[in-house]
Structure 1
């Protein structure tokens, strides 16, 4: 019977995910106690934090190397603590580079382990699953196709649904969203989301602005809206616009990217989780992405990419519902051509895509936190 659970999250999204899981587990067993590495949401849910979560929130190779001694020291302290006083279960929430090796060290001494949010081993570097079999008892998956992958590799997995599907209303009221954001109610609105990281904006911002300028030249009434996550990225975006598309009329929106998707007719975005949010919102979109030339050469040379599609909606559907524009194709002319095709999409094709998006939304909407809690209780409460 589970009594004491160790749990580690490494960033804000994981903190929220883990907090909801803790509350769902407590709803099934109020006597459960939690300790680990927790952010404010997890602590509010009742988890005792042994180290500040911010010490794990490190991104980029140089930053990771700089903080590696500290990260190894934290992991070593957790291993020592939980070897000496074993929890009934360890749950790593995302942060696979930290959590999977930690899980492996704990499992070797008989502590049961689970990982919540599958790393993208099904998409690239699939060889990692061999090590995961030694590190984990079960993986809690946000997508159904991930379970099939793990079953083929003889690692237990449970599909629990995606939290975003629980939060995002499909095809919400467009006019209401526009009124709340003080946006024009009747003009065609294209929302551009070049990413939330500086590196993404540096790779995609200029070409997205040039694309928008081409489209606005064709239709001067086209509204261009861009959400910004902070003042630094806003300054970078505006500098890019002034350099490559000074005549472009654009409205910047402080945050509220999800509500902006509900307000938009079409989306142009960096490939990533935002594309899933666009699908769950029921909006037509074009997804683009660039990586460095060296990274792409390595991926192609060693055939590290194992999937036909890059975006999650297309992988979920098993067909091309979202146009994917990658690497050399990412030019203003080609992106504008893809968006123009969306603007003029035949009604039958538009309805088909929306119906597929709606079905995928329903498939992912499982009350993920409660579903994950039940899966853990079912898997581990027998002993």
Structure 2
């Protein structure tokens, strides 16, 4: 019998994770049928995309409220379809606010539910563990410390490693990435990554650009590469760039090569996210907190992590979570995994252009510091490197036929 898989991924990072899992499922059952909400990487694996992942791309409570009618329509549509034609297993990738609700309904209807990427209950809103226990048949977690947490709470769990640790090379090739992007081998290069959401661009990009203005007073030759996830974000960033102009700034989307002398494996560079090409080519990264910080660590690049919430969003998050700050002292994933402030985190009022510039200059120029980070990031990479598609596929297949 052909395996029928329901799947929901709501962001580019989830699309990449899901595509790796779909590849593993296809090796188990070449005739498998997968459907739901996803993105282009999933479609490349034969996924039947009922709704694009940007249908779920909201940030926080304000954005969610504005898009509530659309979100509800999407939710009720997929729920209705899957209750009418139940999949053999459902896999929700991240997007916990959406997926946990859906998983609860499907599990009650007898569909085994797997949630891939545990919500960061170790940082915010630990009480969500009760909802997870009710909704999820099996958790797949990316980080080793999460496995113990869910076991302690009686939630079936498998640590599968992080797929990015398998696909990002242990020894990145800066020279090849620079040839691909047409950047001189001896240039000083900063990857500027103010986020993939409109709100992140709005609140972070002006500070990042002003920090670059300060840096370029110290080094006018500093080159800046800005990867953008889509054309809409690019337009928003370009509008801010006009207000805070910087020198030698290049915005890239994929495919992003402009040089004639590109690496022989150009197709690999064409197919991967523009952010990866920017990070691999860079000397340092100024980055919004999120998955991109882990990617930068896996590319072994020194970084400065920042994040700024609007006053209203900050108040709403504090009200919803009952917390003024995370349970753990770190926000950036490299620091969480290292259990230490191995890279700077400049958040809210601390994220002034001057402070960002000062920390970024150290990341660009302090070679002893860069060598220390290389060792720490290599340890993180090795700890996360597992055969994630195989481990995830095995855990998903084991759920087949389980009654809720």
TM-score (norm 2): 0.83
Question: 1:41 deviation in Å?
Answer: 5.2
Helix, strand or coil at the partner of 2:355: helix
Helix, strand or coil at the partner of 1:204: helix
2:388 equivalent in structure 1: 368
Q: Which runs of 4+ in 1 moved over 6 A?
A: none
In structure 1, C-alpha distance between the alignment counterparts of 2:120 and 2:203, rounded to whole Å: 23
Helix, strand or coil at the partner of 1:372: helix
Q: Identify if the C-alpha distance between structure 1 residues 286 and 41 changes in structure 2 by more than 3 Å, giving closer, same or farther.
A: closer
Question: 1:71 deviation in Å?
Answer: 2.9
The correspondence of residues 200-279 of structure 1 with structure 2, limited to 5 A, is 200-244=200-244, 246=245, 248-255=246-253, 256-279=274-297
Question: 1:360 deviation in Å?
Answer: 1.1
Aligned CA-pair RMSD: 2.8
Question: 1:228 deviation in Å?
Answer: 3.2
Q: Is the 8 A contact 1:191 1:224 kept in 2?
A: yes
Q: Is the 8 A contact 1:5 1:91 kept in 2?
A: no
Question: 1:105 deviation in Å?
Answer: 1.9
Q: Identify if the C-alpha distance between structure 1 residues 55 and 204 changes in structure 2 by more than 3 Å, giving closer, same or farther.
A: closer
TM-score (norm 1): 0.87
Question: 1:277 deviation in Å?
Answer: 0.9
Aligned length: 375
Residues 1:332 and 2:330 aligned together: no
Point out the more displaced range, 214-223 or 127-136: 214-223
1:283 equivalent in structure 2: 301
Residues 1:353 and 2:373 aligned together: yes
Q: Identify if the C-alpha distance between structure 1 residues 29 and 382 changes in structure 2 by more than 3 Å, giving closer, same or farther.
A: farther
Q: Identify if the C-alpha distance between structure 1 residues 351 and 173 changes in structure 2 by more than 3 Å, giving closer, same or farther.
A: same
Q: Identify if the C-alpha distance between structure 1 residues 352 and 379 changes in structure 2 by more than 3 Å, giving closer, same or farther.
A: farther
Question: 1:131 deviation in Å?
Answer: 1.1
Q: Identify if the C-alpha distance between structure 1 residues 72 and 178 changes in structure 2 by more than 3 Å, giving closer, same or farther.
A: closer
| Alignment gaps of 5+ in structure 2 | 254-273
Helix, strand or coil at the partner of 2:211: helix
2:338 equivalent in structure 1: 317
- Which is bigger in relative contact order (C-alpha 8 A, separation at least 6)? 2
Q: Identify if the C-alpha distance between structure 1 residues 311 and 45 changes in structure 2 by more than 3 Å, giving closer, same or farther.
A: same
Q: Choose 1 or 2 for highest CA Rg.
A: 1
1:155 equivalent in structure 2: 155
Helix, strand or coil at the partner of 2:56: coil
Q: Deviations over 1:252-305 (max 9, x none)?
A: 132222111111111111111111111010100101110012333455572262
Question: 1:120 deviation in Å?
Answer: 2.3
Q: Is the 8 A contact 2:283 2:364 kept in 1?
A: no
Helix, strand or coil at the partner of 1:23: helix
